[in-house]
Amino acid sequence: MPPVIGVFDSGFGGLTVLHELLRVLPEADYLYFGDTAHLPYGAKSAHTVAKYALSSTRFLEERGAEMLVIACNTATALALDEIRAGSSIPVTGVIEPGAERVAEISRAKRAAVIATEATVASHAYQKALTARGITAIEKACPLFVPLVEEGWVEHPVTEQVAHIYLDEIFQKEAHGADVLMLACTHYPLLRTVLRRVSPPEIQIVDSAESTANQVAALVQPCKQRCTSPQSGRLSCFATDSVEKFRHLGERFLGRPLEHVELIDIET
């Protein structure tokens, strides 16, 4: 039987992680949970984030998840230890896989990290990269998330904003860096724009892609027990408007979301 992988996020962004998981492990069954009733997590305390995340992960376990992917940077940064302590299945976050990939490819041992304000404030990526001998220069890019959710991934305004953010970081604080770490699950949708406005020598690392590759490596033995080469099943759950989830989610996942179930984890 194929593995059942639960993917948790505060909203839609984690669907970019699911997109990469579907690419490398198409035969797995997936349970995606978006806690849209409580987003954004970035404005909440670590205690509150952990409470919401634990309720969601218990729901995924009850639905049969055999492995859990925390596709939310804020939840990974603020509550990964609590989630692991409260879960009976293996848990993977998005920070360590991304940091590991940066350490593998950076020759300058210097990287720029762009993320939301909450993730930057946690310094989780900086700590993970420093532990691997990489100097990390973090920068919050708060306008990227609303631009992505507006669907302006190739809009001239988005490219202008990207220039302002990246010109500042690469010409000043991160001068000499050779890697750009995309430390928000919304940012992969802007990869083409970010590639255009980044210096040509910069390599881009996507935490969603790195996380999916790590999960694939962990469940490789499961491939031998799969009896069918067919794609697995996908079930999606949200804690608020399923119509909004379906509409925005299709942008992140890159395919239609035919069925999303509304769930109340507080009852």
Give the Cα separation of 232 and 216 in Å (integer).
14
**pLDDT, tens digit, 9 for 90 and up, residues 157-215:** 999 999 999 999 999 889 999 999 999 999 999 999 999 999 999 999 999 999 999 99
**86, two tokens:** 């409260």
Mean pLDDT of the chain: 93
pLDDT of residue 224 exceeding 90, the answer is: no
pLDDT of residue 2 exceeding 90, the answer is: no
Average pLDDT over every residue of 91-118: 96
Q: Higher pLDDT residue, 114 or 41?
A: 114
Give the Cα separation of 223 and 104 in Å (integer).
26
Under a CB-based contact definition with an 8 Å cutoff, are residues 155 and 185 in contact? no
Geometric angle at alpha carbon 60, from 73 and 230, rounded to 5°: 95
pLDDT of residue 65 exceeding 90, the answer is: yes
Q: Which residues pair with 204 in a beta bridge?
A: 180
Under a CB-based contact definition with an 8 Å cutoff, are residues 71 and 18 in contact? yes
Query: Tokens 């299945």 correspond to what residue?
Result: 89
CATH top-level class for 4-93+211-262?
alpha beta
β pairing state of 234-238 and 260-262:
parallel
- 261, with CB counted inside 10 A (0-12, 13-18, 19+), is exposed
Same fold, 4-93+211-262 and 95-206: yes
Q: Beta-carbon neighbour count of residue 100 at 10 Å?
A: 16
What is the identity of the amino acid at 257? L
Considering the segment(s) 95-206 as one domain, its CATH architecture is 3-Layer(aba) Sandwich (3.40)
How confident is residue 25, by pLDDT bands cut at 50, 70 and 90? very high
How confident is residue 265, by pLDDT bands cut at 50, 70 and 90? confident
pLDDT of residue 78 exceeding 80, the answer is: yes
Domain segments of the chain as ranges: 4-93+211-262, 95-206
The catalytic residue positions are: 72, 184
DSSP string over 87-110: -SS-EE-SHHHHHHHHHHH-SSSE
DSSP string over 118-168: HHHHHTHHHHHHHTTT-EEEEEE-TTHHHHHHTT-TT-HHHHHHHHHHHHH
DSSP string over 197-262: HS-TT-EEEEHHHHHHHHHHHHTHHHHHH----S---EEEEESS-HHHHHHHHHHHHSS----EEE
